């Protein structure tokens, strides 16, 4: 058998199994799995003591997303994919959002242009559907779906993006006809607006009020409503960035009714709390994201959801803004009112180490479950499997080698994203990705990165069956 490379002696995580074996790579694909593989001329990579995981797929990241006239996202495709690769990923999935009057098709052409030649790993693009005019629903979505843009995100919050219930049903109908995957940001915009106005009238305008004006019922109600609309439309639905047990209970109930629902949570809901938004001065702005981090009880509920298999997806919701920057968190008006603080935190490089350390090393989840919720399920749901997301013969050789014993303290000075801070400064983790391969070639090697070896890839048909 011809093999270009053999990764020798790692603990290889495949499906429900994790065992010491070799991985043979040929022509960018996994060609063989087994003990004592050999092939003339193959490069041997000694991986004893390391864990070979499917390359991380982060299916929820925001890169170069238009964020308003005076606000700039801290990452472009270069810096975001560089940081993602250092954090153990081989594929990321950002969102395309049209600006102004641009059509979705124009926006995609523009967005792909921004990515071209700038990607250190593979990128597949979701579409944000924030309006429901006939061109968007009747022409752009079908054409883009046919071209491999097969997943849509819709919002129930943010004044300029939120859809009404009727509009949500219209998008769900199109998704049903096309077989597209839909994810929803579930928070009740009217309730938030009411609470914001009330807080401002009372003169309470610091970053901590961001969390207090988006309390759990705001998310729970919208989650229930989104799931009810999906039931009416008869489509599967993914609820992204679930932050607490009450919203998760709505998902459990919908599944009990027989609905196909996928659920995503993120590192911020396992490790941060609303108290972080209450840090002295303007520091709390570093933690402003939506939904906001909750309390310790909600963290425990999210962990239980991970341990019990209620969450299919663990993503970063990377949405980076610089802190000490008038085009970032400190934009004009942000200190006067929390409503003007850009929403989002940088997490693309720290997502996997945090889950590996807090989940695998602390004995909460197995290696296989880690692989499922950080890679395999993302690939299945968004139409990238079996090419991506698994260590299996025939799949792309997207493989990350983890040193499970390496202990590091997360520090902004070591990270590669474009933001000027990390919410996890000083957080100690055990387990770190030390090498990786993208389509069989070294991506991350001895702490340096191959340049621009990734590109924009098309998704296939999503697999929306429930799985655990």
Does 317 contact Zn ion by CB under 5 A? yes
Q: CA–CA separation, 89 vs 83, rounded Å?
A: 9
Does 286 contact ligand URP by CB under 6 A? no
Does 185 contact ligand URP by CB under 6 A? yes
Q: CA–CA separation, 176 vs 106, rounded Å?
A: 24
Q: Per the structure block, which two tokens stand in for 198? A: 């009330």
Q: CA–CA separation, 254 vs 332, rounded Å?
A: 42
* Buried b / exposed e along 250-276 (16+ C-beta atoms within 10 A): bbeebbeeebebbbbbbbbbbbbbbeb
Question: Residue 228: CB partners within 8 Å, gap ≥ 6?
Answer: none
Stretch that binds Zn ion, among 309-317, 399-407, 418-426, 458-466 (CB under 5 A): 309-317
CB-nearer residue toward Zn ion: 120 or 185: 185
Site string for ligand URP, 297-336 (x = CB under 6 A): --------------------x-x-----------------
Size of the site for Zn ion (CB under 5 A): 2
Query: CA-based diameter of the chain, in Å?
Result: 75
Q: How far is the CB of 66 from ligand URP (least distance, A)?
A: 12
Question: Residue 385: CB partners within 8 Å, gap ≥ 6?
Answer: 376, 379, 463
Q: CA–CA separation, 141 vs 136, rounded Å?
A: 6
Task: Choose which of 206, 305, 328, 344 interacts with ligand URP (CB under 6 A).
Answer: 344
Residue 363 contacts residue 431 (beta carbons within 8 Å): no
Q: How far is the CB of 67 from ligand URP (least distance, A)?
A: 9
CB-nearer residue toward ligand URP: 199 or 277: 277
Does 59 contact ligand URP by CB under 6 A? no
CB-nearer residue toward ligand URP: 90 or 290: 290
Task: Choose which of 290, 299, 374, 395 interacts with ligand URP (CB under 6 A).
Answer: 290
Task: Choose which of 79, 213, 299, 343 interacts with ligand URP (CB under 6 A).
Answer: 343
Site string for Zn ion, 162-191 (x = CB under 5 A): -----------------------x------
CB-nearer residue toward Zn ion: 316 or 464: 316
What long-range pairs does 48-51 form, CB within 8 A, spacing at least 24? 48/8, 48/9, 48/10, 49/403, 49/405, 50/10, 50/11, 50/401, 50/402, 50/403, 50/404, 50/434, 50/435, 51/10, 51/11, 51/13, 51/18, 51/367, 51/401, 51/402, 51/404
- Name the burial class of residue 124, with classes exposed (0-12), middle (13-18) and buried (19+) by CB atoms within 10 angstroms of its CB: buried
Q: How far is the CB of 403 from Zn ion (least distance, A)?
A: 30
By a kind-dependent CB cut-off of 5 to 8 A, residue 289 interacts, out of ligand URP, Zn ion, none, with ligand URP
Q: How far is the CB of 140 from Zn ion (least distance, A)?
A: 21
CB-nearer residue toward ligand URP: 238 or 436: 238
Task: Choose which of 57, 92, 199, 289 interacts with ligand URP (CB under 6 A).
Answer: 289
Residue number of the CB closest to Zn ion reads 185
CB-nearer residue toward Zn ion: 301 or 317: 317
Residue with tokens 């807090």: 358
Q: CA–CA separation, 169 vs 308, rounded Å?
A: 31
CB-nearer residue toward ligand URP: 340 or 395: 340
By a kind-dependent CB cut-off of 5 to 8 A, residue 422 interacts, out of ligand URP, Zn ion, none, with none
DSSP lists the bridge partners of residue 43 as 5
By a kind-dependent CB cut-off of 5 to 8 A, residue 59 interacts, out of Zn ion, ligand URP, none, with none
Question: Residue 203: CB partners within 8 Å, gap ≥ 6?
Answer: none
Size of the site for ligand URP (CB under 6 A): 8
Binding site for ligand URP (CB under 6 A): 62, 185, 289-290, 317, 319, 343-344
Binding site for Zn ion (CB under 5 A): 185, 317
């Amino acid at each position: 058998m011809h093999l270009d490379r053999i990764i020798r002696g790692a603990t290889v995580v495949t499906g429900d199994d994790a065992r010491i074996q070799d991985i043979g790579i040929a022509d960018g694909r996994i060609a063989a799995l087994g003990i004592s593989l050999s092939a003339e001329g193959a490069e041997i990579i000694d991986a004893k003591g390391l864990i070979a995981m499917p390359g991380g797929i982060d299916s929820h990241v925001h890169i170069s997303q238009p964020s308003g006239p005076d606000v700039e996202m801290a990452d472009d495709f270069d810096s975001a994919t560089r940081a993602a690769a250092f954090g153990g990923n081989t594929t990321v999935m950002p969102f395309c959002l049209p600006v102004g009057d641009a059509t979705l098709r124009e926006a995609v052409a523009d967005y792909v242009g921004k990515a071209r030649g700038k990607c250190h790993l593979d990128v597949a693009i979701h579409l944000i559907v924030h309006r429901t005019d006939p061109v968007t629903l009747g022409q752009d979505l079908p054409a883009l779906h046919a071209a491999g843009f097969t997943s849509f995100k819709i919002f129930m919050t943010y004044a300029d993006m939120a859809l009404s219930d009727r509009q949500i049903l219209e998008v769900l109908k199109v998704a049903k006809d096309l077989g597209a995957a839909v994810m929803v940001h579930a928070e009740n915009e009217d309730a938030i607006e009411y609470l914001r106005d009330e807080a401002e009238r009372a003169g309470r305008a610091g970053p901590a009020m961001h969390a207090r004006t988006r309390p759990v019922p705001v998310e729970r109600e919208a989650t229930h409503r989104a799931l009810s609309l999906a039931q009416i439309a008869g489509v599967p639905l993914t609820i992204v960035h679930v932050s607490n047990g009450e919203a998760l209970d709505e998902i459990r109930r919908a599944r009990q009714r027989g609905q196909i629902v996928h659920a995503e949570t993120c590192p911020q809901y396992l490790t941060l709390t609303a108290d972080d938004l209450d840090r002295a001065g303007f520091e709390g702005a570093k933690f402003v994201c939506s939904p906001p981090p909750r309390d310790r009880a909600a963290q425990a509920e999210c962990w239980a959801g991970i341990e019990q298999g209620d969450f299919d997806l663990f993503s970063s919701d990377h949405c980076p803004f610089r802190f000490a920057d008038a085009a970032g968190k400190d934009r004009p008006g942000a200190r006067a009112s929390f409503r003007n603080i850009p929403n989002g935190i940088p997490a693309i490089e720290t997502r996997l180490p945090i889950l590996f350390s807090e989940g695998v090393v602390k004995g909460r989840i197995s290696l296989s479950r880690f692989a499922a919720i950080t890679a395999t399920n993302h690939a299945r749901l968004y139409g990238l499997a079996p090419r991506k997301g698994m260590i299996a013969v025939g799949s792309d050789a997207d493989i990350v080698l983890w040193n499970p014993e390496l202990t590091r303290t997360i520090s902004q000075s070591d990270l590669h994203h474009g933001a000027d801070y990390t919410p996890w400064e000083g957080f100690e983790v055990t387990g770190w990705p030390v090498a990786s391969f993208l389509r069989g070639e070294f991506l991350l090697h001895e702490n340096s990165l191959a340049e621009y070896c990734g590109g924009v890839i098309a998704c296939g048909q999503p697999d929306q069956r429930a799985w655990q």
